[in-house]
Amino acid sequence: MKTTTAAVACVLSATFAMASAVAAEQQLAGERCDFFTINGATTQPTADSPFFGSIDFINLGSGEVRSTESTTVLLGIVGQDPASGTLSSITSHDIEASDEGVPFNLTTFDEQSLVPLENFGIEDPDFDFGLIGRLRVTAAGGRYSCGEVVSGLDPAGLPLSKIRLADPESGAPGQSTLGGFAKLCLCDANDN
């Protein structure tokens, strides 16, 4: 596990360093994609409700910050690894720019892994899982028409996003803190 985590951390460190350079090169080459870091937070009022919140998209090429409103629906838990306790979930996200910039909205459909924080050696009273996932844009409008949002591990091998699901027994709400990267593009219909 430590070797795999270290390898992933090395790859992500290189990705962090190269993302700005790639964004600048693509803009010079006339590409129609923007690269972003993302951060935000959402809450799940009850166990049978979506997560609601906001996510900031920070453009790595221009530095522009786009504020968005996000609704995430946990469609279901589809599996669990008995050895690690990792849950596999299917989710859908609706993300809409909520600021004065060029409008955009994204809908994703994706599979995400909820990895118990103790697997990373983390004790956090506010969260139960690290959230690892790749969100693929399935519908979009405005400035972008395709792309992906990825939340993985930081260079130290720790999750960029954390989550706690609402507890149906106690009524305690769920919450998440989100971090990661996005590549959003203006694609032709045949690019998807």
Q: Is the pLDDT of residue 4 over 60?
A: no
**Between 191 and 110, whose confidence is greater?**
110
The band of 102, judged by pLDDT with boundaries at 50, 70 and 90, is: confident
Rounded CA-CA distance 131/115 in Å is 6
**Between 23 and 159, whose confidence is greater?**
159
Q: Where are the domains of the chain?
A: 2-191
Question: What DSSP character marks residue 189?
Answer: G
Which of 158, 192, 143 has its CA nearest to residue 6?
Answer: 158
Which of 110, 185, 112, 179 has its CA nearest to residue 151?
Answer: 179
Q: Is the pLDDT of residue 22 over 90?
A: no
Average pLDDT over residues 100-122: 92
**Between 68 and 188, whose confidence is greater?**
68
Q: Is the pLDDT of residue 165 over 60?
A: yes
The band of 31, judged by pLDDT with boundaries at 50, 70 and 90, is: low
Rounded CA-CA distance 119/32 in Å is 39
- What's residue 189's pLDDT? 59
80: how many CB neighbours lie within 10 A of its CB? 12
pLDDT in tens, 51-90: 999 999 999 999 999 999 999 999 999 999 999 999 999 9
Q: Is the pLDDT of residue 3 over 50?
A: no
Q: Is the pLDDT of residue 5 over 70?
A: no
- What's residue 143's pLDDT? 87
- What's residue 190's pLDDT? 54
Residue 138 CB burial class (10 angstroms; 0-12, 13-18, ≥19)? middle
Give the side-chain half-sphere CA count within 13 A for 190.
0
DSSP per position, 138-181: EEEEET-SEEEEEE-B-TTS-BS-EEE---TTT-PPEEEEEEEE
Average pLDDT over residues 111-125: 95
**pTM of the predicted model, to two decimals?**
0.81
